[in-house]
Amino acid sequence: MNHTSSSTGHGARSDAEGLREVLARSDFVAVLTGAGISAESGVPTFRGPGGLWRNWRPEDLATPEAFAHDPRLVWEWYDWRRSLIRKAEPNLGHRALAKLESRKAGQSPLRAPANQTPAPQCSERPEHPAVGQGCFTLITQNVDGLHERAGSQGLVKLHGDIWRLCCVGCGLTERNEQVPLDPLPPRCRCGTLMRPGVVWFGEPLPEDEWRRAVEASRRAQIFLLVGTSAVVYPAAGLAELALAGARLAIVNPEPTPFDHLADWVLGGPAGEILPQVCQ
């Protein structure tokens, strides 16, 4: 592990300017976000105030077992979260990351100068050669869709999307933005129950998203951990993967299990700090 001084315990830096410079000149940037980045948009986090719903912990409801036991209860929880997210707007934190992404796309080392053949295109987004191709990769644990609404492209959604429904019978998946859902629980045209298009505890992450996240984390020169308690795996493991070759920067008003490994710890709200470091 070829770490800079901080890994020897000399305390992480907290200067936004230093991090801004490193982000500006790094060719390969990876970012992992959690519920904290949507907190300033009014979306409750999992472990923070408002995370509990009817005294249920998210880990109790976001499971196949809970859904099998009481699909109506689980759907009432998702319907409540959808109604909150519908009222929310992306905040300055979401927007700062979208802006950094488009700047990085313009800067991309993969973007060949005019007289040379362009770099291989990214399958999902041919118009964005660099996005998702390792230059700048935004990876999220959030299912709220606020990163996309802020303009982020090539987003890697590790835990799915609350606005997608999947039939537990025929497997049909569809986008459904109805708030409130009616009927609840929603049913497929085949008559079978639909489930939220999210990854529940005990379920594997979508392969393609996971592969892209691992690739970007391994290639990163700077890895940003934003608004996450970093206790849910395998997502939190991406920061460990990145540490093999990248510097780690954390944006969170609270301590995280990775602070002692970080080069930067910026202790404050993402909506205030990200606009400073992403400009």
CA-nearest of 239, 209, 273, 222 to 37 is 273
CB 190 within 8 A of CB 216: no
CA-nearest of 1, 20, 8 to 246 is 1
Return the one option of Zn ion, ligand BV8, none that residue 35 interacts with (CB less than 5 to 8 A, by type).
ligand BV8
The verdict on 41 binding ligand BV8 (CB under 6 A) reads no
Binding mask 166-195 for Zn ion (x = CB under 5 A): -x-xx-x---------------x-x-x---
The verdict on 240 binding ligand BV8 (CB under 6 A) reads no
Please report, for residues 14, 50, 88, 173, the alpha-carbon distance to residue 81 in angstroms, rounded to integers and kept in the order given.
Answer: 34, 11, 11, 20
Report residue 181 as tokens: 């859902």
The verdict on 143 binding ligand BV8 (CB under 6 A) reads yes
| Interacting span for ligand BV8 (CB under 6 A) from 5-13, 101-109, 207-215, 264-272 | 264-272
Please report, for residues 31, 91, 125, 202, the alpha-carbon distance to residue 234 in angstroms, rounded to integers and kept in the order given.
Answer: 15, 27, 26, 11
Q: For ligand BV8, which residue of 12, 29, 43, 46 counts as binding (CB under 6 A)?
A: 46
CB 277 within 8 A of CB 23: yes
The verdict on 163 binding ligand BV8 (CB under 6 A) reads no
| Interacting span for ligand BV8 (CB under 6 A) from 34-42, 67-75, 123-131, 147-155 | 34-42
The verdict on 39 binding ligand BV8 (CB under 6 A) reads yes
| 108 vs 256, beta carbon nearer ligand BV8 | 256
Q: For ligand BV8, which residue of 95, 228, 263, 275 counts as binding (CB under 6 A)?
A: 228
Beta strand ranges found along the chain (DSSP E)? 29-33, 136-140, 156-157, 160-167, 173-175, 194-198, 222-226, 247-251, 264-266
| 90 vs 185, beta carbon nearer Zn ion | 185
Q: For ligand BV8, which residue of 165, 227, 242, 261 counts as binding (CB under 6 A)?
A: 227
CA-nearest of 160, 208, 155, 209 to 31 is 155
CA dihedral 212→20→146→140, nearest 10 degrees, is 30
Chain residues in the site for ligand BV8 (CB under 6 A): 34-37, 39-40, 45-48, 51, 58-59, 62, 141, 143, 159, 198-204, 227-229, 231-233, 235, 251-254, 256, 269-271
